Amino acid sequence: MTSHQLLVVLDVDSTLTQDEGIDLLAAQVSKDIAREVSAITESAMRGELDFEESLRRRVAALEGTPETSVNEASKKVRLSEGARVLVDTLHAEGHLVGAISGGFHSMIDSIAEDLRLDFHRANRLEVNGGILTGKVVGPLIDARAKVTALQEWARSAGIRRERTVAVGDGGNDVEMLAWAGLGVAYMGKPVARAAADVALDTPDLSKVLLLLGLLRD
d(CA 85, CA 199): 19
Angle between helices 83-92 and 105-115 (to 10 degrees): 50
Beta bridge partners of 7: 96, 164
With a CB cutoff of 8 Å and minimum separation 6, the contacts of 32 are none
Dihedral, CA atoms, 79, 81, 83, 85, nearest 10 degrees? Answer: 130
- What b/e sequence results for 123-158 when a residue is b if at least 16 CB atoms lie within 10 Å of its CB, and e otherwise? bebebeeeebbbebeeeebbbebbbbbbeebbeebe
The answer to whether the beta carbons of residues 52 and 44 sit under 8 Å apart is: no
Residue type at 81 in one-letter notation: E
| Residues with catalytic roles | 11, 13
